[in-house]
Chain A
Amino acid sequence: MKRRIFLKGSLAAGTLAVAAGAGMLTPKSVLAAAWPKAAFDSKTEVEALQAFFGTSDVEQSDKISIKAPLQAENGAVVPVKVMTSLAGVEGIAICAIKNPRPYTTSLRVTDGGGGLYSTRIKMGQTSPVNCYVKAGGKLYMASQEIKVTVGGCGG
């Protein structure tokens, strides 16, 4: 049994090393940051927020609007659109709380960017979807519950 655990551990370490190697080899522009692996690997939302935004102090805001279906027939494709009228947007993140890995996707914005991000996400089950916007050094959020009839997280 212990041997099995050891093997699993070494395998995981191996894939990590490969991923890191690949990241270093790919050409990237100077402004671009690396893929936030820690945030994507987090099992909880707070950890992910800490990893990506560097803070988990969140304030509810009505300046963020989420355009998403109330009920999604297919959990594999759930369109989510986040729009915000907040000034000085630095980043937008979308978390489907009950997914195995809640941190779904995010957007880093530089000065010329805007407060709009739309994507299609996978959802394992009915869950609130939290959208976070970092603007002017502060973190804001809005949430909407999406009902899922058929899950779409592998399996």
Chain B
Amino acid sequence: MASTKMKIKKSKSGGYEVMVLAKHPMETGNRKDKKTGEKIPEHFIENMEFAVNGEMVAQANLGTGVSKNPLIGVGIPNAKPGDTVTVSWVDNRGESDSAEKVVK
């Protein structure tokens, strides 16, 4: 179920920008199942961590207010070509996924 895609592009303001697309339902806990009428429990990504060469540069805190299949972009101004960027996320049920890419 889990799949995470990552893209690194040059940022206009200098440095690089990482775009991450994580496949996730991001349930708010307010929605109801149309067939049973029961509430669908909360299910969302809590933390997403960005690391360059194993060193954490940013941590995004997501909540139920973030759209389903979140697309998150973060700037990494100090990254150089050849650096490895790792992204990993954990949701409120303890599920997790990660992706890795080398800066071109």
Contact = CB atoms under 8 A, between A and B. Distances in A.
Interface of A: 19, 22-23, 25-26, 28-29, 31-33, 35-36, 39-40, 76-79, 81, 83, 85, 96, 99-101, 103-122, 152-155
Given A112-B76, A116-B17, A107 B68 contact: no
B73 A117 contact: yes
Contacts of A155: 30-31
Interface string B49-87: 111100111111111111110111111111000000000
A106 B60 contact: yes
Given A108-B58, A122-B28, A113 B67 contact: no
A29 B49 contact: yes
Given A78-B67, A119-B72, A105 B30 contact: no
B75 A115 contact: yes
Interface residues of B, number: 43
Interface majority SS on B: helix, strand, loop or mixed?
Answer: strand
Interface of B: 11, 13, 15, 17, 19, 28-31, 46-47, 49-52, 55-68, 70-78, 90, 92-94, 96
5 closest residue pairs by CB, A with B: A116-B75, A154-B30, A114-B75, A118-B73, A104-B65
B78 to A, nearest CB: 5
A116 B13 CA distance: 9
Contacts, number: 140
Given A40-B63, A153-B28, A120 B70 contact: yes
Given A32-B47, A120-B66, A154-B28, A107 B17 contact: no
A120 B71 contact: yes
9 contacts: A28-B47, A40-B64, A113-B57, A113-B75, A113-B76, A114-B76, A114-B77, A118-B73, A119-B62
A22, A25, A103, A113, most chain B CB atoms within 10 A: A113
A101 B66 CA distance: 11
B81 to A, nearest CB: 16
Contacts of A23: 46
Contacts of A101: 63-65
